[in-house]
């Protein structure tokens, strides 16, 4: 490759990519138009009935490496909220004089992220912090880790050595998951669960904590919610145990192992009571959760960075209709890049240089199958009609114009039929019509001149490129990236310089010249009647 080509390409590419990286890395502009994990809006609703002094305790979520809480709001009729920060979680306490029915609403937004934990392999050397061993190895009435039944059970399980906590966790998990039946109405007690081989979800979780602690692995019970989009969230418990350098989540019911699912919200440690009233006649409580996407307004705010220069050049400041047009425009360089790739590196032959991306653009307005069907129908009918027009012997330009009128009529018909079947129509913008007309004309010409086979192969590769470009044109991510980071056009220009300077073979060259590679048979010299020595009269150069 030519040196100046390499320089030009590199400079463009580095400049475009550099600016892009700077803007999302340093200025923190979002790469994706929506948060893939989503943001949940969670609400707790409690209705109380009582008279005289009373209180309600509820577990409140706290930030950790898997959940970030924001926009917390609370409304309560006549009750005061105090947040208790003692211990690993937070506890909200609403208290005051009750007089009849009170409603307490507490809402927050949370961004959740899941994680799969890699279990450390033996021997594990990490020191467990003192605070963790002190709090989470002890034997309590709910988790009687020091009892002799537990010690016997562990012995019969045949645990791996103590420097392999991951192995121990696996053994205990297998025992609790496989050998103990979950019965919703079963016992909540750890030991009874172990002896009777059945227990409630709570009993199983407690048993698991007990066994882990007895096996010298710090463990704690966690209570929380499993959020779901269309129904109220389930209250669940699971177990966290300290392996090597951090807490690892495990479900005592086998729902997950060494994994924090991304729809799980942690509310309370050690105790699994989420809402607890005191001195109250009656209480009704519920949780609800709603998944929220980033709103266009939130996104636009994030896309205008604080840096005054970049704020000034942000396209998000333009009026919305202009933005809409520019969004489409900025997809074209991507399409052109794809066409260049397919034509110069792969070697596809197409109808016209940009015909495939214009087809993809036309398809953008419809679904792929419907679009291709309609396109095929219109082009097919067009080619047949052109055959008929051939017989009339018309001049070229009026004939193509006739075809254009015909295409418009066909599209009208298709739109009416589509309306009948409640489908979206194909009528996108004006130029796809001209595109379709030219497609018909060229297709008819190539059929006549180069045969149907050649025409179909070219039509096929045009359609292939269009179909491969289509998802890019439909992708909101691509649209967001190109519109939010127009410097990517410069990066694309860099790529185009590189493709343009590529002197190597196209993929189709290998197919085309394949017989030269296969046989390798050289031409037999008998063919040349004259002996090589006798020809050529002049001397060497």
Partner 1 sequence: MPLNRLGILGINRRNIDYTARFNPRRRYPLVDNKLLTKKLCIEGDIPTPRLLAKAEHHFELATLVQRIEKLDDFVVKPARGAMGNGIVVIVGREGEGFQRTGGRIMQMDDIRYHASGIISGLYALGGTQDMVMVEERLVVHPELSKVAFDGVPDIRVIVYRGYPIMAMARLPTKQSDGRANLHQGAVGVGIDIGSGLMSAAILRNEAIDTHPDTAEKLLGRSIPDFDRVMEIAMAAAEKTALGYLGADVVIDAHKGPVILELNARPGLSIQLCNRAGLLPRIQSIDAVAGEPRSAFERLELSREFARAWRQA
In the complex, which residues of this chain contact partner 1 (CB under 8 A)? 2, 344, 347, 393, 395-397, 445, 449-451, 454, 501-506, 509-510, 512-517, 519, 521-523, 526-530, 532, 535-538, 540-541
Query: In angstroms, what is the minimal distance from the CB of 292 to partner 1?
Result: 50
Which of 429, 431, 468 has the alpha carbon at shortest distance from 339? 468
- 143 vs 350, beta carbon nearer partner 1: 350
For residue 343, what are the CA distances in angstroms to 274, 352, 362, 462, 500? 63, 11, 20, 10, 11
Nearer to partner 1, 319 or 504 (CB): 504
Structure tokens at 499: 């493709």
The answer to whether the CB of 47 falls within 8 A of the CB of 103 is yes
Q: Compute the distance between CA of residue 133 and CA of residue 347 in angstroms, rounded to an integer.
A: 66
Q: How far is the CB of 10 from partner 1 (least distance, A)?
A: 18
Distances (CA, A) of 356 to 343, 361, 377, 451: 11, 9, 17, 21
- Beta-carbon contacts of residue 426 (< 8 Å; ≥ 6 apart): 362, 365, 366, 370, 371, 374, 375, 411, 414, 415, 418
Shortest reach from residue 500's CB to partner 1, in Å: 8
Residues 6+ apart with CB under 8 A from 9: 494, 495, 497, 498, 501
**Which residue's CB is nearer to partner 1, number 89 or number 382?**
382
**Residue pair 409/417 in contact by the 8 Å Cβ criterion:** no
Q: Which is nearer to partner 1, 163 or 390 (CB)?
A: 390
Which residues lie below 8 Å from residue 56, measured CB to CB, with a gap of 6+? 46, 48, 79, 93, 94, 95, 104, 275, 276, 277, 278, 280, 283
| Residue keyed to tokens 């079963």 | 186
Q: What DSSP string describes 500-540?
A: HT--S--HHHHHHTHHHHHT-PPPPGGG-SS-GGGS--S--
> Measured from the CB atom, is 320 or 540 closer to partner 1?
540
Smallest distance, partner 1 to C-beta of residue 464, A: 19
Percentages helix, strand, coil for the chain (3-state, rounded to 5) are 50, 20, 30
Nearer to partner 1 by C-beta: 431 or 513?
A: 513
CB 386 to partner 1: min, Å? 12
Please, what is the minimum distance in Å from the beta carbon of residue 506 to partner 1? Answer: 6
Q: How many CB atoms lie within 10 A of CB 158?
A: 7
By C-beta, is 308 or 520 nearer to partner 1? 520
CB nearer partner 1, residue 162 or residue 457: 457
Nearer to partner 1, 125 or 537 (CB): 537
Residue 444 Cβ, how far from partner 1 at the closest point, in Å? 11
Q: How far is the CB of 445 from partner 1 (least distance, A)?
A: 7
What is the smallest separation between the CB atom of 36 and partner 1, expressed in angstroms?
39
Min dist CB 16 to partner 1, Å, is 23
Cβ proximity to partner 1, 3 vs 230, nearer residue: 3
Is the Cβ–Cβ distance between 489 and 330 less than 8 Å?
yes
Tell me the two tokens of residue 381.
């009918």
Residue 396 CB, shortest distance to partner 1, in Å, is 3
Do the strands 181-182 and 198-199 form a parallel or antiparallel pair, or are they unpaired?
Answer: parallel
Alpha helical stretches, state H, 180-200: 190-196
- Of the pair 36, 504, the CB lying nearest partner 1 is at 504
For the chain, the residue count is: 541
């Amino acid at each position: 490759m030519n040196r100046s080509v390499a320089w030009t390409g590199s400079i463009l590419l580095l400049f475009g990519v550099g600016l892009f990286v700077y803007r999302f890395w340093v200025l923190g502009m979002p790469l994706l138009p929506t948060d893939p994990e989503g943001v949940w809006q969670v609400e707790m609703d409690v209705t109380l009935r009582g008279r005289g002094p009373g209180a309600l305790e509820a577990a409140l979520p706290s930030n950790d490496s898997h959940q970030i809480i924001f926009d917390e709001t609370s409304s309560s009729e006549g009750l005061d909220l105090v947040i208790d920060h003692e211990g690993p979680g937070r506890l909200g306490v609403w208290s005051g004089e009750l007089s009849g029915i009170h409603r307490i609403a507490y809402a927050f937004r949370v961004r959740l992220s899941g994680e799969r934990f890699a279990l450390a392999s033996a021997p594990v050397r990490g020191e467990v912090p003192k605070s963790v061993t002190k709090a989470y190895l002890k034997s309590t009435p709910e988790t009687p880790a020091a009892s002799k039944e537990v010690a016997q059970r562990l012995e019969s399980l045949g645990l791996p050595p103590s420097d392999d906590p991951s192995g121990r966790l696996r053994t205990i998990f297998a025992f609790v998951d496989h050998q103990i039946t979950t019965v919703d109405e079963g016992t909540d007690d750890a030991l009874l669960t172990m002896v009777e081989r059945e227990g409630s979800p709570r009993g199983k979780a407690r048993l698991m904590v007990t066994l882990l602690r007895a096996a010298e692995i710090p463990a704690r019970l966690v209570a929380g919610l499993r959020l779901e989009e269309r129904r109220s969230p389930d209250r669940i418990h699971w177990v966290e145990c300290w392996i090597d350098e951090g807490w690892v989540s495990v479900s005592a019911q086998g729902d997950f192992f060494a994994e924090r699912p991304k729809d799980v919200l942690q509310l309370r440690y050690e105790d699994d009571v989420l809402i607890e009233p005191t001195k109250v006649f009656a209480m009704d409580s519920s949780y609800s959760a709603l998944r929220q996407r980033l709103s266009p307004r939130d996104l636009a705010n994030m896309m205008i960075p604080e840096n005054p220069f970049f704020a000034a050049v942000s396209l998000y400041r333009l009026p919305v209709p202009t933005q809409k047009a520019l969004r489409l425009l900025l997809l074209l360089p991507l399409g052109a890049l794809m066409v260049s790739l397919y034509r110069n590196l792969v070697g596809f032959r197409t109808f016209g240089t940009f015909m495939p991306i214009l087809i993809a653009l036309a398809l953008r307005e419809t679904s792929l199958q419907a679009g291709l069907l309609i396109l095929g129908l219109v082009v097919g009918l067009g080619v047949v009609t052109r055959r008929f027009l051939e017989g009339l012997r018309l001049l070229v330009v009026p004939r193509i114009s006739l075809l254009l009128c015909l295409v418009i009529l066909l599209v009208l018909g298709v739109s009416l039929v589509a309306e009948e079947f409640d489908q979206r129509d194909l009528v996108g913008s004006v130029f796809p019509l001209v595109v379709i007309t030219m497609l018909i004309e060229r297709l008819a010409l190539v059929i006549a001149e180069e045969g149907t086979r050649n025409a179909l192969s070219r039509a096929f590769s045009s359609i292939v490129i269009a179909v491969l470009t289509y998802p890019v044109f439909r992708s909101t991510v691509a649209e967001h990236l190109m519109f939010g980071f127009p410097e990517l056009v410069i990066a694309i220009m860099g790529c185009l310089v590189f493709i343009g300077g590529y002197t190597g073979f196209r993929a189709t060259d290998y197919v085309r010249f394949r017989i030269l590679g296969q046989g390798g048979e050289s031409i037999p010299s008998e063919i040349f009647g004259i002996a090589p020595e006798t020809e050529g009269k002049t001397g060497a150069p």
